Amino acid sequence: MKITIFAATNRAADSPSARIINLCGDGPYPPLLYFVQRFIGGQIARVRAALVCLFSFLALGQFCIRASCQTPCKFTTLEEISGTQHFNPKSVAVDADGNVYFPDAKKNVICQMQPSGQISIIAGKSGVSGSADGLGIQASFCNPRGIAIDADDNIFVADTGNNTIRRITPSGRVTTVAGLAGTVGSLDGTGMYARFNYPASIAVDRLGNVYVADLYNSIIRKVNKRGVVTTIAGQPGIAGGADGKGYAALFSFPICIAVDGLQNIYVADMLNNAIRKVTPAGVVTTLAGRLCYTPGSADGAGSCARFCHPCGVAVDNANNIYVSDSGNNTIRRIAPDGVVTTLAGLAGQSGSADGVGEAVRFGHPTALAIDHVGNLYVTDLDNATIRKGSPPPIGRKAPPHILADRQAGSSNIHLSPN
């Protein structure tokens, strides 16, 4: 059992002066009970320590305590990708037939891996950089990093080095949907009149609308089926951390994007160490983590959770959100009730090992994708491969919540048995 304890002052929790302390080692302040978590074994000792900490610091106001066993997830390596051909996948997508697609930014190609394990290049010519449209190897890309597939099996690519959005039809024909190769900017517009600045990630909804994480502009864009580009949220060229609607919201390095069936957008806001949600109306809220530059690795509900440079996000049909917590080398899950748990990897430990739960080792996991049966695919950047995981279902019983209000502060205890 892992116990994570937070405390805050009696000031309102969302006040700018509110102070968050993690008493077990993930916060910026000296961990008061660090020795309990690290050196005293046994669940009984840890529960006692949590209770002592709770009553000792009750005067501070708000506590978020989570005692839970991690929900382990098994991961294996797709050996075909990390084999003799030396591919370097930057992101990943999966179609309804189980074919895996990924852009290789070094080779400037788009690849397909069939369920049999056979890998082929479906667009671009290996080692050739360019911006030409065309059929298959007649087309060219420049540092492609984002990929997504629509319901009609059209593949959309964030052609990052060209600052364009490209489409590959099922027949293999490549066209430029939006942006102008070699031109940087943030203008909304139609087709070639729109401008991007390092589009890093891409997602497509059930209606065929494409969403773009425009990284260096710190904004979220939408490209409709007619190629019209609009800015949904954020201010071009202004980085920060603020919730709000449209231009009132701010992002800091929005590096990955996903969209659910209701057209809600989820953003891995890397330098804010948070996961953000954008409604179809452009209203931005912070779903998990806290808008700050201080990283951490704690599980917990909502703002009690901590991330370290999250670089990947995906959402399944049950509205579970999966996060590549890249700086921690872990894979996290945000349940529909907002509770964050760690599925695989161990914070602070990198490597390349398959296994279950904390035994798994990643080397900077980035983009994520989910197939139609719920399997999770992760690009393992430093290991130049893709890992496949099978997330366990969330139990029927929700974790018990105990809420005790105390003037301006409150006590919040989350106990999640295995």
Q: Dump pLDDT digits (tens) for 182-205.
A: 999 999 999 999 999 999 999 999
Task: Give the number of other CB atoms < 10 A from CB of residue 121.
Answer: 16
Lowest mean pLDDT segment, chosen from 116-120, 153-157, 333-337: 116-120
Nearest to 356 by CA among 339, 331, 374, 378: 331
Q: What is the pLDDT of residue 392?
A: 79
| Secondary structure letter of residue 400 according to DSSP | P
Across the range 102-116, mean pLDDT stands at 94
Stretch 131-156: mean pLDDT = 97
Strands (E), 95-236: 100-104, 109-113, 119-123, 134-135, 144-149, 155-159, 164-168, 173-178, 189-190, 199-204, 210-214, 219-223, 228-233
* 413 has a pLDDT exceeding 60: no
- What's the pLDDT tens digit per position in 260-291? 999 999 999 999 999 999 999 999 999 999 98
Name which of 173-177, 265-269, 283-287, 382-386 the model is least confident about: 382-386
Q: What distance in Å separates the CA atoms of residue 14 and residue 388, rounded to the nearest whole number?
A: 38
**Is 0.85 surpassed by the pTM of this model?**
no
Say how many residues make up the chain: 418
Whole-number Å distance between alpha carbons of 267 and 284: 10
**Mean pLDDT confidence for 220-245:** 97
174 or 8, greater pLDDT: 174
Q: What is the pLDDT of residues 291-342, one digit of tens each?
A: 887 899 999 999 999 999 999 999 999 999 999 999 999 999 999 999 999 9
Question: In the chain, what is the greatest distance between 2 CA atoms, to the nearest angstrom?
Answer: 69
Q: How many CB atoms lie within 10 A of CB 151?
A: 12
Determine the residue type at 325.
Answer: D
pLDDT classification of 64: cutoffs 50, 70, 90: very low
Q: What is the residue type of 351?
A: G
In this prediction, residue 354 has a pLDDT band, given cuts at 50, 70 and 90, of very high
Rounded Cα–Cα distance for residues 78 and 116 (Å): 11
Looking at the DSSP bridge assignments, the partners of residue 203 are 211
Please give the Cα distance from 181 to 186 (Å, whole number): 14
Stretch (H or E) spanning 13: none
For residue 401, pLDDT over 50 is answered with no
